Homo-oligomer: A and B are copies of this chain.
Amino acid sequence: MVTRTDHWLEKLKSTDGRVTDARRAVVDVIVSSPRPLTPVEIFDAARKKHLHLGLVSVYRTLEKLEELRLIQRVHQEQGCQAFLRAGVGHQHLLLCERCGQAVLFDGDDLESLFSRISQQTGFEIKDHWLQVSGVCAECK
């Protein structure tokens, strides 16, 4: 059975990267987390799998994974240094305010909003960024 961890490591390998214990541990932690994690959180969790992992390697792996678009940075009030697996295609993030659980959704249609803003401001709209928060079914 090919896990998502394996898939990510393959992606790394196919871009001149190597598969190491440090990376395996970091990827494993991110892949199996239902919520965004900070570098230190990832470090603490991954150290249980790879004892003398360095925090530097977490940062370096995050950088690689972000380049490969396998993870995304999550912006929150308390700070913006948390990372989460990336969605496929065009998706946005829905976060539970209580437990932090993240869900990716798609199918937003903002075109009419954008064309109106474009007319009013003279801007040519290139990109957008939407994040929704609330309380998940379990936390309600």
Query: Which residues of A approach B to under 8 Å, CB–CB?
Result: 75, 79-80, 94, 96-97, 103, 105, 107-109, 113-114, 116-118, 120-137, 140
Contacts and interface: CB of A to CB of B under 8 A. Distances in A.
Q: Is the interface of A mostly helix, strand, loop or mixed?
A: strand
Q: How many copies of the shown chain assemble into the complex?
A: 2
14 contacts: A75-B80, A79-B80, A80-B80, A94-B125, A103-B121, A105-B120, A105-B121, A107-B116, A122-B136, A124-B134, A125-B133, A127-B132, A127-B133, A130-B131
B124 A133 contact: no
B136 A128 contact: no
Given A80-B75, A80-B80, A108-B113, A128 B133 contact: yes
